Amino acid sequence: MFLTETDLEAIALTLRLASVTTLILFAVGTPIAWWLARTHSRWKGPVGALVALPLVLPPSVLGFYLLVTMGPNGPVGAVTEALGIGLLPFTFWGLVVGSVFYSLPFMVQPVQNAFEAIGERPLEAAATLRASPMDRFFSVALPLSLPGFVTAGILTFAHTVGEFGVVLMIGGNIPGLTRVASVQIYDYVEALEYGNAHRLAAVLLVFSFLVLLVLYAWRPDRKRA
């Protein structure tokens, strides 16, 4: 077999993490992107900067803060324990929370750009036809910005697959639960098992290239549309 059983387990976990994160970010990121695209509030700048922070912060910083805040002495940890969920570090859902923060700008920014590109006119036109705000959003804004959503979804998914530092900080390297493919590769390299590292790394390389190829090859259609 080309890949070992633990490799396949790590890949399956990685894909599951990326899928769940992307779905959650569609729900969480869309309202934020909509607000950022439409608002004239003075909070637009600060919120936009907050959303973009994970782009520039080292994952070690994000991971460290998550570890501390989600721990028993941190505010998030206190809440999750009070709710009976327990502590999030070392769990799959802890990784999901980390990934949602980590990949947030990759969802919000393309969707926000798409919303901004629509401009006011189609929405105003819909309003004069007595479309409710909800109706305007779902019947006008959403279809017009669909390409932005596709881009955002692919980027978010791919970026979460490539996540390493945050998972390393809060995951605890538990097989099948928090040991994702990137961590598995790191372990191989550290253990001097370069052959195994090469095989899994090649799979990730090809996968990432194909995902981006889909994104870039698909872009011209968007311009025609």
Partner 1 sequence: MPRLRPLLLAFSLAAPGTVCAEEAQIAVAANFTAPMKAIIARFEDDTGHSVKVSFGSTGKLYAQIQNGAPFEALLAADQRRPELLEEEGVGVPGSRFTYAIGSLVLWSADAEKVEDGPALLESGDFNKLSIANPKLAPYGEASVQTLEALGVEQAIEPKLVMGENIAQAYQFVDTGNADIGFVALSQVMQGGEIVKGSGWIVPGEMHAPIRQDAVILESGKDNPAVTELFAYLQGEKAKAIIHDFGYETE
Q: Which residues of the chain form contacts with partner 1 (CB under 8 A)?
A: 67-68, 70-74, 77, 87, 89-90, 168-169, 172-174, 186-187, 189-192
Helix (H, G, I), strand (E, B) or coil at 64: helix
The distance of closest approach from Cβ of residue 68 to partner 1 in the complex, given in angstroms and rounded to an integer, is 6
Closer Cβ to partner 1, 89 or 153, answer by number: 89
The distance of closest approach from Cβ of residue 188 to partner 1 in the complex, given in angstroms and rounded to an integer, is 9
Whole-angstrom distance, CA of residue 18 vs CA of residue 9: 14
b/e 12-28 (16+ beta carbons within 10 angstroms → b): ebbbebbebbbebbeee
The distance of closest approach from Cβ of residue 51 to partner 1 in the complex, given in angstroms and rounded to an integer, is 26
Closer Cβ to partner 1, 190 or 221, answer by number: 190
Which among 75, 102, 84 has a CA at the least distance from the CA of 17? 102
Helices 44-56 and 92-118: angle between axes, nearest 10 degrees: 130
Closer Cβ to partner 1, 59 or 77, answer by number: 77
The distance of closest approach from Cβ of residue 36 to partner 1 in the complex, given in angstroms and rounded to an integer, is 33
Q: Other CB atoms closer than 10 Å to residue 53's CB: what's the count?
A: 13
The distance of closest approach from Cβ of residue 80 to partner 1 in the complex, given in angstroms and rounded to an integer, is 12
Helices (H), the chain: 5-38, 44-56, 59-70, 75-82, 92-118, 121-128, 133-136, 142-144, 146-161, 165-171, 181-190, 194-224
Q: How many residues does the chain have?
A: 225
Closer Cβ to partner 1, 17 or 114, answer by number: 17
The distance of closest approach from Cβ of residue 29 to partner 1 in the complex, given in angstroms and rounded to an integer, is 28
Closer Cβ to partner 1, 36 or 169, answer by number: 169
Closer Cβ to partner 1, 6 or 113, answer by number: 6
